[in-house]
Amino acid sequence: MTSTLESLREHLFETSLLESTIAALEWDEHTGMPSEASEYRSQQLAYLSGLVHRRRTDPRIEGWLDELESGLGSHSDHGVDSDGVPAPAVTILRTLRKDFNRSRKLPQSLVEEIAKGTSLGQQAWVKAKDENRYEDFLPYFHRILELRRQEAQCLVEDGQTLYDALLDHYEEGMRVDSLKPILANLRSALVPLVKRASEASRRLPKGVLQGPFELSAQREFSRWVAERIGFDFQRGRLDETVHPFCTTLGPHDHRILTRYTAESFSSGLYGVLHEAGHGMYEQGLDPNWYGTAVGAAASLGIHESQSRLWENMVGMSKEFWVWAHPVAAKHFPQISKRTVDELVGELRRVEPSLIRIEADEVTYNLHILLRFELELELVSSELDPADLPAAWNAKVEEYLGLVPPDDSSGVLQDVHWSAGLIGYFPTYTLGNIYAAQLFRAADRDLGGLNDKIARGEFEPLVHWLRKRVHRPGRAWTPLQLMRNATGEEVDSKYLIEHLRDRCEALENAGE
């Protein structure tokens, strides 16, 4: 069994070399690649993606898995460690069997076409967004959507919808039928909360944080915050891009990217907190098992829980600003003139807005709900991409009471569809739900997080997350991981309670 496991590890590691090379090219594509290089870059990505797919569907994998399964059946020492985490061989067998079966259902030509189509699509999206020309992006989106439908048709199993087949890749085990009640429950709570919080926000003083904010000061302060909460800059770096994201180029190479604007102090900072949360999750995975499920994230929803926990549960707390205010005041004259309460009140202001990544935490999930509903219609062919801008604007008006003035601030604002990430958006709201529940459990286990945060003591929380969320990798499905980490089934009540508490604080501040 040891020999078989080592053969698998070697194969998976070599595959990860190719995957990390793809990630490096994609990172470059978003940070410094000349626009005229897009066609050749798409060919590079298509070729490398084809090589990865051939390795993922290598017939030897099935033989190795059968041997591993047989070996596990004859050994009694393959159980769990002291924290209850399954042995690496058990995790690799479960996840690789699933991944292998999924990969071999996909034709090589389709994998390469998706890689090429999404690379070209992302370049077309950047240009279309800059020039507010959805019609220029439309033919690329038609192609990307058709390719993803073909992928779903290859993958769909009995009892699944096409959307289920795409969603499962990002959130293992999740189905539309299970997701809809979760989101419906949250939506029912959000509607009155948005109304209350918006009214309370209107009573707060205006102009508390007026720009401009020096970009160099924003960069310096944001980096300081990321380092202090636990992002390791010896194993990562911080750069700038159009659409903030985090990517991993190797077991000790984690890149986080944000964007800064002179008008907004919070946009860049909270972008960094968000992406640092992603990066710290990657840095918390076991580097010795990089390339295998043991050293991989449990799901995108769990990944998002880490970014939202640091961005909202920690970064939006009053205690965070009790700690950070003195340093921020040295960087920004506007903040030196404001109290912690004034600053927190302004940062927590609830006001429906058009841009998802700049939305406050109360209205944010409405942005996800509308995208999820549109995706369902797109994948089922009930909605044609040509009609998407009008459908988008109608949803925004229904949920947020706003009408986008143009497509750049509407349907073109997100990179996801140009990257082919259809089925991805629900993981953002699941991440918020997971984050609130994890923070509550950590607070319970650590004996009160707020006092520690106010003193800038983030290590206890990082250690708690390392043990319960990061180090298990993909040992469990997302729902199992949450149950093991918190002692409860996943429940949106903790997010609803958190948002109600924030709403009540806004109301008290406005009195």
Phi-psi region at 158: left, alpha or beta (left = phi > 0; alpha = psi -120 to 50): beta
Q: Are strands 245-250 and 236-240 parallel, antiparallel or unpaired?
A: unpaired
pLDDT at 327: 97
pLDDT at 73: 75
Please count the helices (runs of H) and the strands (runs of E) in the chain.
21, 3
Answer whether 478's CB lies under 8 Å from 469's CB: no
Q: Is pLDDT of 145 > 70? A: yes
> b/e per residue, 72-110, with b = 16+ CB within 10 A?
beeeeebeeeeeebbbbbbbbbbbbbebbebbbbbeeeb
Catalytic residues: 275
Q: Is pLDDT of 55 > 80? A: yes
Token digits for 153?
């048709």
Mean pLDDT of 399-423: 95
Q: Which of 437, 432, 429 is nearest to 482 (CA)?
A: 437
- On average, the pLDDT of the chain sits at 94
Token digits for 15?
């595959």
Q: Of 23-37, 41-55, 159-173, 299-313, which gets the smallest average pLDDT?
A: 23-37
Which of 184-198, 335-349, 464-478 is most confident? 464-478
Answer whether 294's CB lies under 8 Å from 473's CB: yes
Answer whether 253's CB lies under 8 Å from 233's CB: no
Q: Of 59-73, 197-211, 229-243, 278-292, which gets the smallest average pLDDT?
A: 197-211
For residues 12 and 289, give the distance between their C-alpha atoms in angstroms, rounded to a whole number: 10
For residues 303 and 256, give the distance between their C-alpha atoms in angstroms, rounded to a whole number: 14
Answer whether 274's CB lies under 8 Å from 293's CB: no
- Helix 426-446 × helix 478-486 angle, to 10°: 20
Q: Is pLDDT of 59 > 90? A: yes
Q: Which amino acid is at 155?
A: L
Answer whether 145's CB lies under 8 Å from 67's CB: no
Q: Is pLDDT of 511 > 70? A: no
pLDDT at 415: 92
For residues 88 and 258, give the distance between their C-alpha atoms in angstroms, rounded to a whole number: 35
pLDDT at 1: 62
- Tell me the domain boundaries of the chain: 2-155, 176-509
For residues 155 and 163, give the distance between their C-alpha atoms in angstroms, rounded to a whole number: 10
CB neighbourhood size of 353 (10 A): 15
Answer whether 311's CB lies under 8 Å from 333's CB: no
pLDDT at 30: 84
DSSP state of 261: B
pLDDT at 207: 75
Helix extents (H) in 213-315: 215-229, 265-284, 300-308
What's the residue count for the chain?
A: 511
* Bigger pLDDT: 139 vs 204: 139
Cis peptide before 244 (omega within 30 of 0): no
Instruction: Write the DSSP assignment of 375-431 as a string of letters.
Output: HHHHHTTSS-GGGHHHHHHHHHHHHHS---SSSTTTTTS-STTTTT-TT-THHHHHH
Confidence of residue 76 (pLDDT cuts 50, 70, 90): very low
Q: Is pLDDT of 464 > 80? A: yes
Q: Is pLDDT of 165 > 80? A: yes
- Enter the pTM of the model: 0.91
Q: Is pLDDT of 190 > 70? A: yes
For residues 16 and 211, give the distance between their C-alpha atoms in angstroms, rounded to a whole number: 44
pLDDT at 72: 87
Q: Which of 362, 340, 341, 342 is nearest to 351 (CA)?
A: 362
Mean pLDDT of 61-66: 95
Q: Is pLDDT of 324 > 80? A: yes
CATH among 3.40.50.300, 1.10.3720.10, 1.10.1370.30, 3.40.50.10950 for 176-509? 1.10.1370.30
- By percentage, how much of the chain surpasses pLDDT 90? 87
Confidence of residue 74 (pLDDT cuts 50, 70, 90): low
Q: Is pLDDT of 75 > 60? A: no
Strand (E) positions, 58-174? none
pLDDT at 235: 97
Answer whether 1's CB lies under 8 Å from 89's CB: yes
